[in-house]
Amino acid sequence: MNTYKSINIIVAVLALALYGCSSDSSTTATNSSGGATTTSASYEIIVTNLTSAQPIAPVAVVLHKAGYNTGVLGTSASVALETLAEGGDNTMLLSEANAHASVLTSVGGAGVLMPAASETLMANVTDLSSLQLSIAGMLVNTNDGFAAMQGLDISALAVGESTSALLPVFDAGTEANTELAVTMPGTGGAGFDAVRDDVGFISVHRGVVTVDDGLATSGLMDKHRFDNPALKVVIRRIS
């Protein structure tokens, strides 16, 4: 029933706007349910890969309050985010999240999310006040590109309601975008590499060039190109 209320459309439009938003975002400031703080809730999180030919490594989903960030635009990525973005490994990001005081729970994807595929994840919390959701997952045919969203406020979601977001691709800024096959996990190359040889800050990904667009040394082809958005996320409160 009552999915996609009009306010949810607004949330979807703003979802892009929430990456790197530090804390007290009030763009959807209708969180009136002060008495809801003791309510427990279960959420279904459905992710869908929208790309042409970019498998997305197991995503990391974190439910948290203000004060937790997977990354901030224009600043240096953490090693945990670098590990996720370069190698598709979400374990460090999830374990650091679980140790963070502002994090309520987290869940990782079961496996690589192929183009056109969807996966449903579940998360339960017992405190809804200022509840936010963040998510990140690597596009494996890139050097350090990842689809992500930071801090979508889901605290006002009622049982049965859902909201959705379309996620763009970011560049962790930790590995040069050489597109050499030996440097990307999707082409059989290396994953995480402690060396940082890129711009050093998180940006919006500029896309891949590929051999078909004149970069002769690229291990990628036309089909690997992408545009924003790359990942769809639907969050439904089921109880």
Partner 1 sequence: MKKHITLVGMALGLLISQNAFAQNFTVAITNLTNGIWFTPILVTAAPSTTHLYTPGMAASASLQAMAEGGDIAGLTTDLMNVGADIAAANTTPLAPGTSVTATFTNTAAANTHLSVVGMLLPTNDGFVGLDSIMVPTATGTYTFFANGYDAGTEANNELVNGGGAPGVLGIPADPGAANGTGGTGVAAVDANTTVHIHRGIIGDTNPTAGISDLDTTVHRWLNPVAQIVVTVQ
189: DSSP letter: -
CB of 97 to partner 1, least distance (A): 22
Largest CA distance in the chain: 60
Q: Which spans of this chain sit near partner 1 (rule: CB under 8 A)? A: 14, 16-27, 29, 73-75, 168-169, 171, 173, 177, 199-207, 209, 213-216, 227-228
Q: Between 82 and 119, whose beta carbon lies closer to partner 1? A: 82
Q: Between 66 and 125, whose beta carbon lies closer to partner 1? A: 66
CB of 41 to partner 1, least distance (A): 24
In one-letter notation, the amino acid at residue 1 is M
Q: Could you give the CA distance from residue 141 to residue 92 in angstroms, rounded to a whole number?
A: 21
Q: Between 73 and 122, whose beta carbon lies closer to partner 1? A: 73
Q: Could you give the CA distance from residue 232 to residue 239 in angstroms, rounded to a whole number?
A: 22
116: DSSP letter: T
> Got the DSSP string for 123-185?
EEES--TT-EEEEEEEBTTSSSEEEEEEEEE-TTPPTT-EEEEEE-EEE-SSS-----GGG-G
CB of 26 to partner 1, least distance (A): 3
CB of 177 to partner 1, least distance (A): 6
Q: Between 58 and 168, whose beta carbon lies closer to partner 1? A: 168
Q: Between 158 and 204, whose beta carbon lies closer to partner 1? A: 204
CB of 71 to partner 1, least distance (A): 12
